[in-house]
Chain A
Amino acid sequence: DSGVTQTPKHLITATGQRVTLRCSPRSGDLSVYWYQQSLDQGLQFLIQYYNGEERAKGNILERFSAQQFPDLHSELNLSSLELGDSALYFCASSAGTGEGNQPQHFGDGTRLSIL
């Protein structure tokens, strides 16, 4: 158990809809990272938050947004969903901003299926 909690585990919805994925980081971790894993793109970094502030952006679409709340949990919002958004979405956390030998600890992921 990594200590990172993601909900829900599975999500099935239709094109055009909006969903929210939730992540609770490990106790004491200030950074939260979001990744998308798909068969064709592999594991892609989306965005990082540190102590409530956005710190780095990767390949995140404009239809996607995220935030980190004062209690450090984070939400990833996906809107105007398309079939290609079907993927496994991971949240990871680390103590600092990712420097040194701190690994990122991953949650079990949310599997999103768009019908």
Chain B
Amino acid sequence: AQKITQTQPGMFVQEKEAVTLDCTYDTSDQSYGLFWYKQPSSGEMIFLIYQGSYDEQNATEGRYSLNFQKARKSANLVISASQLGDSAMYFCAMREFSGGSNYKLTFGKGTLLTVNP
């Protein structure tokens, strides 16, 4: 079963508007972390924002914020004031315990965001 689900294969947004990218996750762990990464067409993976399962406040980093709803197991990324350079693939990832004291990231399939001028 998929542990990270991103239901939007593609999204379009007008420049300067806000956009929400959806992410739901499945875990039985009490302690976990959620990450968002951006992958432009050039291919590199860029870390954007992190939310821990025990964090009471929603994470924010500049124009990025995370709408964390723990009971619904969702961690949606909100990008405010979209810019043309935000056009990219966005991946939601969950930190999972992988045994011992080790952790791994499990990624969703991604959402391709296109910002229109």
Task: Name A residues whose Cβ lies closer than 8 Å to a Cβ of B.
Answer: 2, 33, 42-43, 45, 48, 50, 55-56, 58, 88, 90, 92, 97-101, 103-109, 111
Q: Would A2 and B50 count as touching, CB distance under 8 A? A: no
Known A-B contacts A42-B109, A42-B110, A43-B91; the reply to A2 vs B103 at CB < 8 A is no
Q: Cα distance A111–B43 when bound, in Å?
A: 9
Q: Are B45 and A90 in contact (CB under 8 A)?
A: yes
* Chain B interface residues toward A at CB < 8 A: 33, 35, 37, 42-47, 50, 52, 91, 95, 98-110
B95 and A98: CB pair below 8 A?
yes
User: Is chain B's binding surface mostly helix, strand, loop or mixed?
Assistant: strand
Residues of A within 8 A of B91 (CB): 43
CB distance from B103 to the nearest CB of A (A): 3
A-B contact pairs, 19 of them (CB 8 A): A42-B107, A43-B110, A45-B104, A45-B105, A56-B98, A56-B102, A56-B103, A97-B101, A97-B102, A98-B103, A99-B95, A99-B103, A101-B33, A103-B35, A103-B47, A105-B47, A106-B47, A108-B42, A109-B43
| A2 and B33 contact, CB distance less than 8 A | no
Residue of B52, B98, B99 most packed against chain A (CB within 10 A): B98
